[in-house]
Structure 1
Amino acid sequence: MGTALSSAGVLAKWGIPGAAVAAICVLVGLGQSAGAQPTLPSDPKPPSSVPSLKPPGKPSLDPSMLNPPKSRSAGAPLPGGVKPLLPESINIALKLERDGSLSVSEQIFVQARKSMTRRAPLRIKAGDEQDRVFTVRDVRVSGNATTEIAGDEFVIRVGEGATTIRYKVDGAVTDLDGRQEVRWQVASGWDTKVRFLRASFIAPERPRSVSCLAGAFGTDSKCGVALTDESQVLRVEQEGLPVGERVDLTVELPARTVGANARFDDIGTAGAFGLTTASGVGLGALVLALVGGFMLLWLARGRDARALATDVGPVELLMTGDGGRVAFASPDGVLPGQVGTVVDERVDVSDVAATVVDLAVRNYLFIRETGQGEWALVRRNPPDASLTDYERTVYRQLLGDAAEVPVTGLRVDLGAVRDAMYTDVVSREWFARRPDHDRSLWSIVGVLLAFLGVVATVVLALTVGNALLGLALVVGGLGLALGARMMPARTRRGSVLVQQVRGLLSYLRATDASTIPAVDREMVLSRSLPYAVVLGEVEGWVRRFADLDTSADGTPGIYWYETGSPAEFPARFAAFLMALDRALGGAQPPR
């Protein structure tokens, strides 16, 4: 193949020597008898199925070919029919060896201060359930270029000047019925338009037929020139090959010409789920994303969880006023319903129940036992400006226009209550957005991602393979949908409130009722009780006031709860909370 790339061979065949031979033949003809006509060698007729153009001359490395004179237009033929070798031009020599390997030599010409990159696919579709796989080895570079095998691609990066790259290809030869077929994409995946491509192919036997396609993958447009000359060398020319398009050469040879080495990979359902470089990278990225996401989630939520679970010293929430009187003051005036919503980022029935108890403690409602296991909520004072919007919503949902409503007859629209409570905590900048909306948004994104993953899995399994990438999307989407339920939405201000709740918990767990003046115990018990309700500390908190004297403040009984015996209050109140939770949990909005 060396002579196929020399300028001497070109001129020997088509240039000055050819003209000299013609002149000698004319002189000899003058001495022959009249009627004797001398003949010159003629080109073989190409098959009718391929373009009938003049065979390309063998490429030359003469500097004048790389930089043609300005007097000649770019791309114009040189004397003798040889085209100039312009920048972004490629010469390729292919030689089929006896062992079935394909020796390739590529000469690439790149303009100064420019570069070209080729990503040649080493796996191409060979049917509905098969891929044809090629292997490139023994790569040698002479000039300004680098090469690498990146997954299923042979990557060539070429800098300015003339560069020669030689390599061998395995997998190009297939045994078919009574013949052999050689296939290789002599050009593909270039990131620059190839101005002119010239290729030659030689094999131990003369080709029986040739198919040369040029253009985008999947098209069947033919190359500019593809024919065999009298020396049995197949020559190909293609001008103006656009970015990313290919020249795909298939040559048919007699049976057993060389050793067959074609390799085909099954891409059916089983093969589609095989671990490849691409699917491995995708799965690795998924694992990193999942681990990183859940680590961030754990760090964001774990801080507050550890704060609530850590035992700390008591925080003083009892304020001593004039005359030694003691009163309870919540941190920053936060209300029980607000505490529950900020801590678990949800409006629960317990948050509403704690608000009901707080309204009673603050003399807006009165809780009356009406029978064994039956209670009623009684209007005591109308809602005023001292109540927040969500408290007024709870009040109206409980009583409406009625003066008294049995607990079993409550008809509460919890949707309206939730809207009001979420609006309240967002307005106080404990949340940037409604936490339920944040969770819903991420859940929807996760479900959509999982659905797209299912679609991608099916499409990849039926086409190019690497279906594990689709499964990775499914797993990632499901992980996002599940993680959305724990997605934090608190602001820094909200996290500070959670830290303050830790002090509230320690207060409820450690306060000694005997240290509180007897006259103030009922009030401290009552004002702290809604917070005990929302934080699940009712039993322990009430037990600390088991010896409560409800008449010590000058009035008999608990002022906001009517019961037969003060000693029975802990058990009666626990039963009331259970009934209230059932009523709120099963309540239907009013018709």
Structure 2
Amino acid sequence: MLGALVAVVLLLVAPAGAAQAAGGEAMQSFAAVYDVQADGSMKVAETITWRFPSGEQRHGIFRNIVVRMGYNNEENRYRYYDLTDVAVSSPSGAPDAFSVSDYGAAKQIRIGSATEYTSGTQVYKVSYTLHNVLNPITADGRPATGTAPADTVELNYNVFGANELTERDRVSVTVNAPAAATKVLCYSGPSGSTTQCSGSAGDPSRFSAGPLASGDAMTVIASFPASAFGDVHADVRTGGAGSSVGSEAAPAVNAAAWIGGIGAPVLALAVMGMLVWTRGRDERYADLTPGLSPVPSPAGGPTGGTGPTRTAGGTGTAGTPATVRGGSPTVAVQFQPPKGVQPGMVGTIIDETANPIDVSATVIDLAVRGFLRIEENEGGGMFSRTDWTLTRLEPPAGERLLPYERSLLDGIFSTRGDVVQLSELKNTFATTLKSIQRQMYQEVVTRGWFRSSPQTQRGVWQGLGVVIAVLGGLLLFYGRPAISAILGGGFSGGVALGIGLVLAGVIVWVLGGRMAAKTAEGSAVLAQSLGFKEYLTTAEAGQIAFEEASNVFSRYLPYAVVFGVADRWARTFAEVARAAEAANQPLLMPTWYVWSGNAFPDFTGIAAGVESFSTTSTGTFTSTPGSSGSSGFGGGGFSGGGGGGSSSGSW
């Protein structure tokens, strides 16, 4: 029977695993060497083997290295890790040009070329130095001060933060230091996890973990004698049991456990598959052109698709028009966005998620509509990039804000006056962001695109999957020995039942992620949105009239940011501007975005600035405080509980 169980397990997990191995994006390996210096800095050398999605091309990868973290929950103080000496190469021959820029509370090392592509599996070597990484610790585990000298020096560092969404197959870290480590700890898993990974003290100290799933953090802690180091300090700045059943019952209980272990994942797959087929697929209007929805006929009933139609994006229609489930929307070019559908709503309907980039695009849209002005401010230093000043303006007449838009505007300005630097929002805006995202989900329900929040639809099923999997794990590690003792003998079926429940939970979690289904009206809006994206990526300069060009550029730019095609949109308008100049009809530049370039502003410069703003604001909005200078030993350590950290992705 054990062979049968293994066969069922392999049958259930092989397709998903094979698909991931064949086409899923992941770090096949991440090997880092941390050379800890006597002055408290750390030289980092990373060797990253990156598997790009099968059949897709990318420009390269990026690494977000945290350099600012809140310190000991102290208001208006943060810990800073200065990042210098960045170098990048690719032994496999991938494009290895790089740039370093601010990304919220991190520095982003963006590797690759905008004019070159790469694919398959590539190797990148990334090196840099982080300063003031070590913590001086007293004998009783507190941060050392002038009156309480250090007994040890600790490296308590997040190799990855919980915001690392790329899966990692293998992770290894080697720590070299002026003296051998006396003790080490390693944690991995979701933020706050106390699950330990492999770590060995010595000279050098070594750590390993894997595989790490999306959202798993990893923290390494190593303690060294303070005598081997100089003046080590944190750079803290001001800113911002029961009776026996009897052995006669054991065979029946074991048989039932085996049946449950095999049947649980099969039942989960059958039930969830049926639910996805009947409720998890998008609806669409039958016999209507994609992107259109029915309107009431003159008699008051639905037209059935033969009478007048209107564009999608409204609030509903009379009657109950025929709908079907499934199928992909047919995309036809649309020369304007869906009527009354803002960029943040387009981003939410496209992937059924209110992403931070949708919020950033909303800020840009509010600027285009006259609610605020965005002004670049050049920073100083080799790796510093532009900060932005946001200025609240008098609300334009005739313009009304949706609830999530007003919350966003108030969240930026209400406690800081009418002028605020984007960088001032770091480590403080994440709670406001979550509220805005909840309102965006409510808005798509109000508009009739979903019957309930897509986040809730996914969350309920995925939460159930987690509960089932946890029950299986508890049975494996805790319940099985207890039941075996009650039965007065072995409980071999407990392994099968535990594994079966874990697999069932995984199946429910995975398929639960597909339970956010759009209504027919939502599918109509999706079709129009995809059609508008097609226009933004194929528009030609000769199609755009000079007298409309400036207005069209600004109105459509936030949508281009959501779609990730802002650079393409800007190049089109650069051609329009040249043609207009030749015809002695120069175009007016937008006033809602104040460019800080050293020459006259142009469309490509403004679009590049806006795209950089959207990237930086996304990181700023999601940044949270988290570092301290206390010891990671003594029971207080956990995954993600150290200083620094990183996340990655491809572009």
Structure 2-normalised TM-score?
A: 0.42
**Which structure would you say has the larger Rg?**
1
Structure 1-normalised TM-score?
A: 0.46
